[in-house]
Structure 1
Amino acid sequence: MMLRILACAILLFSATVLSQNVATLRKQAALDQEVTTEPIANEITNDLKVSRNYPMQPPIIPHNIRDYQIDLNVNTCLACHSRRKVTNTQATMVSVTHYMDRDGNFLAAVSPRRYFCTQCHVSQTDAAPLVGNSFVDVKELMAVSKNENE
């Protein structure tokens, strides 16, 4: 008897949740249904660095990387950004933290755990945000606080 009541409660709860209009990036399409996607945003390729929004944020890539190869055999990023190449290319050098292993020892080459650049770094685009964001930079909060105290 108790099992039947529990099963009915689960079914009722599931029907209630599934009948709600939950906003998703799939726009109400069923999971087994093909959805046309928005076109890919244009990469911003002006080579101007964008300021970071918070401490330790990985820098955003200020140039096109569409055909870059990053796999076990090749990392195109390091053709310009490795320690040995930056003098000739004038590119920003990979952070020294990328040459450290997990124990803090310095290595001669980029650490395997930092080798796949696009795990953390992304290209700038002119894409509109997919979801809302109420993030406020700490500098802005400090400025507001300072103005209120004056």
Structure 2
Amino acid sequence: MVAFVPGQQIDAIRRGVPIDREALPPRLASVENADIKRTRAYPMQPPTIPHAIDSYQIDKNSNRCMLCHARANAATFQAPPVSVTHYMDRDDQFLATISPRRYFCNQCHVVQTNAPQLVANGFRDIDSVIAVGKE
């Protein structure tokens, strides 16, 4: 267990602000709205959302995402349809409409932003790891 020392800084969390002072919150990152799909870093990673969704209603009564991404509308709006897995229940039975388990898109999918990295990250996707292994 770590003992608390008054006045000691916790840089990783407080960004250099002493514990006895109030830190200013960081600015919100701007949402990229280029409609460019990013590659995924690992298998089964949920795709990120390449457009703003701040005015979208996603609640038990309505899901604005499905206007464009439902299978019936995807071609009309030139949007990728949601995966067939989103139409399966927990027993792997296919449903006529989207599964309640997958209804709230922003549980897994997030918008793309221009946020800077807060922590150094040496992550490499699986393809680059395999490529290095073949050399």
**TM-score, normalised relative to structure 1:** 0.79
Partner Cα distance (1:35, 1:102) in 2: 44
**For this pair of structures, how many residues does the alignment match?**
132
- The C-alpha deviation readout for 1:68-90, integer Å capped at 9, x for no partner, is 11111111000100111112111
Higher helix share: 1
In 1, are the aligned partners of 2:29 and 2:115 still within 8 Å (CA)?
yes
Counterpart of 1:71 in structure 2 is 59
> Of 95, 102, 108, which aligns to 1:120?
108
What secondary structure sits across from 1:43 in the alignment? Answer: coil
TM-score w.r.t. length of structure 2: 0.87
Are residues 1:132 and 2:132 paired?
Answer: no
> What residue ranges of structure 1 are gaps of 5+ in the alignment?
1-12
Q: Secondary structure at the match of 2:58?
A: coil
Task: Name 2:47's counterpart in structure 1.
Answer: 59
Show structure 2 runs of 5+ residues with no match. Answer: none
> Does the residue aligned with 1:18 lie in a helix, a strand or coil?
coil
Moved over 4 A (4+): 28-31
Aligned counterparts, 1:26-45, within 5 A = 26-27=14-15, 28=17, 30=19, 35-45=23-33
